Structure formats: C-alpha cells, structure tokens
Amino acid sequence: MARTVLVTGGNRGIGLAIAQAFAAQGDRVAVTHRGSGAPEGLFGVQCDITDSAAVDAAFTTVEAELGPVEVLVANAGITDDTLLLRMSEDQFTRVLDTNLTGSFRCAKRASSKMLRAKWGRIIFISSVVGLYGGPGQVNYAASKAGLVGMARSITRELGSRNITANVVAPGFIETDMTAVLPEATQAEYKKAIPLGRMAKPEEVAGAVTWLASDSAGYISGAVIPVDGGLGMGH
C-alpha cells in the first residue's frame, strides 16, 4: 500500500537515498530542503527544521499535495565538531537545536495526524556516535543519543495507537558530511570497520524502508545499526 512519506533533509546524502528508495516502491514522497530545491521526481518543500513555524507550514503543504504524513524520516542533521574544552555553548545548542529539537518538532507535528489515522511510522536517523560517543563530538553525540530516548518515549506513549518509532544508527557513510573529514581521520575509521569500507547512502535506505513496512509493524523503540560492524564489541 502506497504511503505518504516525508524525509527531512531529503535533498542530498542519506536523506536523498532514503527518499528515492521510498519513491521506487511507489510511495508518495516529499523531501525538505533549505533552498536548494528538490531533486527531480521528488516533491520538495522548503523548511529549516530549527523554525517551528516553518515545520508546521511544510507539513501543511505536504498534506495538501500528498495527504497526511504517514511515515516520517527525521534525517536532517549537522555536525560542528571540536573538543569539549573549546566547544562554546552556542556550538552545543545549535547542534542540539537541529538534530534533536528539530526532530522533535517534526515528530510532534507528524504524530497528531498519525494519531487520527491510527497508523504511523517515525524513524529517526541517529548515529553510532550517539550510541558510543566520539571525540570532539559532545554536542553531536548528545543530540543523537537523545533521539533514542525520544523514540522509546514515543513508543511508550503512542505504541498502542499503531504508531511505531525507531532509530537507525549509521556508521561511516559516503556523503558531504564525511567528505570534509581529514584523510587521516577517514583512514582511521576505515581501519576500525570490520567490513573494511565506508557505506553508500543507499545501504542505509534499506533499513529505513523496512522499518516503515508492514513486516516491521511489531518493531518499536529499536535501534538498528547500519555500520559495517563498527560498533560491535562496545
């Protein structure tokens, strides 16, 4: 059955691969962007998830064009790495405001319609860093760990209404976000990955479409690592 899917930050990187995977299986897919426009074949809506009014307006537009959002993929995220002693409070709160509060804004807006429909799927894109931490990533790790608590609380609140909330935790994926890392850091990561390589964004998308499918209807509050074994043994 075709669903209405909204992927935040679906204009590039992992979000784009997820949006394309849903579109390929026949779903009605909308992506948010911050001004770049939507890739061909996807319905785009401009939205900065740090702005509650913009989030509300984006959902209203998607609802008018494609129907109520049945599957939310809260994917949009940023990094702003630096060591703890150098990290300003602004650097900390800015990352939290996008990755965690931004996802909260979208999940809250989506869940009101999901409650009415008595069906919904919320998938948060976290990170292995949210599970195990990362040097220079106190802000990012805190934001991504928060998504786990949020998914599990939503599960307890809304699970009985046929709304599931899960977390996908990618490891080291080939996107703009990782392309900016120094080569030495990239090499170090690759050495630590049992599968011996980074992943393509498409390799994250499968876990997300599966979590939204009927076959995963009894899975909620789960964290699915897509990390080539990077987090194993922690």
Which residues are identified as catalytic? 140
Q: Is the dihedral of CA 123, 171, 226, 28 positive or negative?
A: positive
Between vectors from CA 124 to CA 135 and to CA 166, what angle results, nearest 5°? 115
- E strand or H helix at 169: strand 163-170
* Interface region with ligand NDP, contact rule CB under 6 A, candidates 73-81, 88-96, 112-120, 210-218: 73-81
Under rule CB under 6 A, residue 170 binds ligand NDP? yes
Cβ 25 to ligand NDP shortest distance, Å? 20
Cβ 136 to ligand NDP shortest distance, Å? 14
**Among the listed residues 52, 61, 91, 178, the single contact to ligand NDP using CB under 6 A:** 178
Contact 66, 42 (CB under 8 A): no
Between residues 36 and 185, which has the closer beta carbon with respect to ligand NDP?
A: 36
Under rule CB under 6 A, residue 168 binds ligand NDP? no
**Among the listed residues 75, 139, 155, 164, the single contact to ligand NDP using CB under 6 A:** 75
Give strand pairing partners of 28: 4
CB atoms within 10 A of CB 112: 11
Between residues 91 and 178, which has the closer beta carbon with respect to ligand NDP?
A: 178
Distance between CA atoms of residues 182 and 179, nearest Å: 8
Between residues 163 and 226, which has the closer beta carbon with respect to ligand NDP?
A: 226
Under rule CB under 6 A, residue 172 binds ligand NDP? yes
- Exposure b/e, 12-41, CB count within 10 A at least 16 = b: bbbbbbbbbbbbeeebbbbbbbeeeebbee
Q: Which residues contribute to the site for ligand NDP (CB under 6 A)?
A: 8-9, 11-15, 32-34, 36, 47-50, 75-78, 98, 102, 125, 127, 170, 172-173, 175-178
